[in-house]
Structure 1
Amino acid sequence: MARYGYFLASEEFTPAQLLEQARAAEQAGFECLAISDHFHPWNDQQGQSAFVWSMIGALSQVTSLPVTTFVTCPTIRVHPAVNAQAAATAGALVPGGFRFGIGTGEALNEHILGGAWPAADTRMEMLEEAVQVLRALFTGERTTHRGKHYTVENARLYTVPDEPVPVYVSGFGPKAAALAGRIGDGFVTMGPDEDLVQQFRRAGGGHKPVLGGLKVCWGTDRQEASKTAHRLWPNQQLPGELAQILPEPAHFEQASTLVTEDMVADSVVCGNDVDQHTEAVAAYVRAGFDEVYVGQIGPDQQGFFDFYRKDVLSRLHDLDLAR
C-alpha cells in the first residue's frame, strides 16, 4: 500500500510555519514528510528559504514522522563530506527515520559561490562520485577519497545512525532515472510518469521505493485558489531545462510572465473538489509510486489539513484496499 506524506515548501513558508505544518500533517493522518533544500526561493513572491539542516533538527523535536529531503544537491554548494555529516546527524535525530533525497541541482541555488554551472552529464558524474563519498562516510569508518571531482582526507563521522542513511536519487529523464536505479536506494521524481518509474526499475531499482509529489491549492473559491497558485508557483509550468539553468529568482519571474493563470488552473488542482484532489494523488499510485507527497500552496493550511483528514486520505486508503 502507498504512503501519503506532506511536502514542506521551505521557499514559501517561515521556519515556524513549517514546524506548525509538520505537526498538523501528523495530526491529519499524513504518514511522512518531505522538505525542499534551497538557497533561494524560485521567486520573490514565495519569499523564504530556510537552511534545511536547521529545519530537520527542529522537525525531529516536533514530529515522529520520517523526513526526506526533496531534494539536496550534494555536489557544488556544499561538499559531499559535509553533506554526509549533516545527513548522518539527521539520521541519528529523526524519530521516524531520515532519507537523504539528492539530485543534480539547479543553478538557482548552486551558482552562489561563483563557480561555473556544469553541463547535465557532468552534474550526473559529480552526483555519482558524491554518492560514493556519502556511502563511505556513512559507515563511520576512516575515509580517504581522491576522485575526479572530490577529495576527502582522513575523515570519519563519529555520529552515525544505527543503519546507514538511505540515499534516494532524483531524476526527471531517462538518463537520470537509470542513474538512480544504479546507485540509489530509491527514486524521487515529480510527475506520475509510469515510463520513468519502469526505467528506474529496469536499471537496477527493482522494488526499491519510488517517491513523488505535487502541489495543490485547496480553497472554497476555486478561482481565488487558482490566482494564489499562479501568484506563488507559476515556475512549475516552465518547460524543459529552465528550472535547472536559470540562476536567479528574477530570471524565473521574467520567464514566468509567459505562464497564464489558465495554464496553472489546468495543471494544478485548485479548489475543494474531493474527486479532483483524490484523482491527482491516485495517479501517482497507479504509475507505481510508493510514497506521494502533497503540498498546499498559500496561507490556508488548516483548511487543507481538515479537508484531507476528513475527505481525501480516507478515500485514498479505500482505493489502496480495493487494489
Structure 2
Amino acid sequence: MAIGYTLMTEQAGPAELVRHAGLAERAGFDFEVLSDHYFPWLDEQGHAPNAWSVLGAVTQVTDRVELMTYVTCPIMRYHPVVVAQQAATVGLLSGGRFTLGVGAGENLNEHVVGRGWPGADRRHEMLGEAVEIISRLFDGGYVTYSGRHFLVDSAKLWDLPESRVPIAGAVSGPQSVDTLAPWCSAMIAVEPDAELVSLWDKANSGSSPKIGQVPVCYDPDRGAAVRRAHEQFRWFGGGWKVNAELPGPPAFAAATRFVTEDDVAAAIPCGPDVDRIVAATEPFWAAGFTHLALVQIGGEHQDEFLDLAQRRLLPALREAAG
C-alpha cells in the first residue's frame, strides 16, 4: 500500500510548497499529490498559487516520489490541449514520475473565466471529451477534433516523455466511472466506497491504482488541532455534490456557519494520537484502495507533521495496511 502526502495549494505559498515537497520525500512518503485551485475553500486558508508552476519546481527538488495533480479540471479554466501540454512537460521534467489527475471541477475555481457553471451532466460530457483529446495528444501526431463542447485545430505535442503520462480520473458514481474508465489508468475518489471500487475494477481491468485522500490535523495540543481544523477545514463535511456548486470562499463560510468544532473533530482525527490517524485510513484499505494521500491541515504546521510521519506515522500506517 502506497502512502502519499498532499501539497495543498490552498494553505501554503509556492516556495513553502516546494520546500514541503522535498521534506516529504525525505520523510519517506511514496507519492505526492497537488491540488489545482484558483481559490482557497475558505479565506482563513489564505493561498492559491498556480499548481503547474509549483509542480515544475517540485520536479527539481524530488528524485523518487511519484507526483500527481489532485485534481485538474480540463473543461473551463484550462482548455484540454493546454492541460495535455502542461502534463507532458511535467512528465519530462520529473523523469516519468507524473500522473495527470483529472475531474469535473468545482464552481469555486472555474467561474473565474466568466462562462457560467454547467450542470453535472454537461460537466461530465465535457470531461469525457477533454480526456479523449488529452489522450489522443499523448499518442503523438496532429489532433483535430470537433465535439459538442470542444474544438481542436491541428494540435500537436512536440515534447513528449518516453513513457506515456498516465491519467487518473476522479469518480463519484456510475456516470463518472463510465465516462472516465475508457481513458484512465487509475481511479481517484475521496470516499472509501467499496462499491465504487468494484464498479471501477469491472470497467478498468481490476488491477489499476485506486487513490484516496484523508485529512488529519496533527498537533501536540489536541484543542489547538481541533480549532485549526474547524477554522480551515469545516468545508470538508459538505460533500462533493454541494462543494462543486458553491461559487467562492464567502459561500463556503456561509454554508458552514453552523458546523461546530465537535462536528469537525468527529470527522477528522485531531491531535497527537497516531492510532486515531491510522484508524481513519483503515476504511480505504478495506474498500480496496491501493494509494492514500494524507492532508495535514495548516500550512505552517507541516514540518512537525513530516517529522511525526518519518518517526512514527508512516511505519504505523504501513503495518496497519499490510
Asked if Structure 1 and Structure 2 have the same fold, meaning a TM-score greater than 0.5 normalized by the shorter chain, the answer is yes
Counterpart check, 1:312 vs 2:313? yes
Matches within 5 A, 1:58-73: 58-64=57-63, 65-73=65-73
Task: Tell me the residue number matched to 1:203.
Answer: 203
Task: Tell me the residue number matched to 2:232.
Answer: 232
> What is the rounded CA distance, in whole Å, between the counterparts of 1:204 and 1:293 in structure 2?
22
**What secondary structure does 1:282 align onto?**
helix
> 1:123, CA displacement in angstroms?
0.6
Q: Give the direction of change, closer, same or farther, for the CA distance of 1:137–1:182 in structure 2 (3 Å limit).
A: closer
> What is the rounded CA distance, in whole Å, between the counterparts of 1:157 and 1:303 in structure 2?
41
Task: Tell me the residue number matched to 1:194.
Answer: 194
> What is the rounded CA distance, in whole Å, between the counterparts of 1:27 and 1:291 in structure 2?
19
> What is the rounded CA distance, in whole Å, between the counterparts of 1:197 and 1:258 in structure 2?
33
Amino acid aligned to 1:34:
V
Under a length normalisation based on structure 1, what TM-score does the superposition of the two structures give?
0.95
> What is the rounded CA distance, in whole Å, between the counterparts of 1:240 and 1:92 in structure 2?
32
Check the 8 A contact 1:145/1:152 in 2, yes or no.
Answer: yes
1:176-231 Cα offsets, whole Å, 9 max, x none, are: 23433333211101122212111211233521111011110001111110100000
Task: Tell me the residue number matched to 2:295.
Answer: 295
Task: Tell me the residue number matched to 2:264.
Answer: 264
> What is the rounded CA distance, in whole Å, between the counterparts of 2:236 and 2:205 in structure 1?
27
Task: Tell me the residue number matched to 2:135.
Answer: 135
Under a length normalisation based on structure 2, what TM-score does the superposition of the two structures give?
0.96
Task: Tell me the residue number matched to 1:172.
Answer: 172
Check the 8 A contact 2:100/2:168 in 1, yes or no.
Answer: yes
State the Cα RMSD in Å: 1.4
Check the 8 A contact 2:141/2:157 in 1, yes or no.
Answer: yes
Check the 8 A contact 1:181/1:202 in 2, yes or no.
Answer: no
| Greater mean alpha carbon deviation, residues 279-288 or residues 41-50 | 279-288
Check the 8 A contact 2:96/2:165 in 1, yes or no.
Answer: no
Structure 1 unmatched ranges of 5 or more: none
> What is the rounded CA distance, in whole Å, between the counterparts of 2:180 and 2:269 in structure 1?
29
**What secondary structure does 1:182 align onto?**
coil
Task: Tell me the residue number matched to 1:15.
Answer: 14
> 1:240, CA displacement in angstroms?
5.7
Q: Give the direction of change, closer, same or farther, for the CA distance of 1:277–1:290 in structure 2 (3 Å limit).
A: same
Matches within 5 A, 1:94-133: 94-95=94-95, 97-133=97-133
Check the 8 A contact 2:85/2:157 in 1, yes or no.
Answer: yes
> What is the rounded CA distance, in whole Å, between the counterparts of 2:198 and 2:232 in structure 1?
33
Task: Tell me the residue number matched to 1:223.
Answer: 223
**What secondary structure does 1:25 align onto?**
helix
> 1:95, CA displacement in angstroms?
3.3
> What is the rounded CA distance, in whole Å, between the counterparts of 2:144 and 2:240 in structure 1?
38
Check the 8 A contact 1:103/1:170 in 2, yes or no.
Answer: yes
**What secondary structure does 1:241 align onto?**
helix
> 1:96, CA displacement in angstroms?
5.5
**What secondary structure does 2:182 align onto?**
helix
Identity of aligned residues (%): 38
Amino acid aligned to 2:51:
V
**Equivalent pairs, count:** 320
Q: Give the direction of change, closer, same or farther, for the CA distance of 1:265–1:250 in structure 2 (3 Å limit).
A: same
> 1:260, CA displacement in angstroms?
1.1
> What is the rounded CA distance, in whole Å, between the counterparts of 1:159 and 1:225 in structure 2?
45
> What is the rounded CA distance, in whole Å, between the counterparts of 1:257 and 1:280 in structure 2?
25
> 1:45, CA displacement in angstroms?
0.6
> What is the rounded CA distance, in whole Å, between the counterparts of 1:205 and 1:7 in structure 2?
27
Check the 8 A contact 2:96/2:163 in 1, yes or no.
Answer: no
Task: Tell me the residue number matched to 1:241.
Answer: 241
Amino acid aligned to 1:125:
E
> 1:47, CA displacement in angstroms?
0.8
> 1:120, CA displacement in angstroms?
0.6
Amino acid aligned to 1:36:
S
Matches within 5 A, 1:71-90: 71-90=71-90
Matches within 5 A, 1:45-56: 45-56=44-55
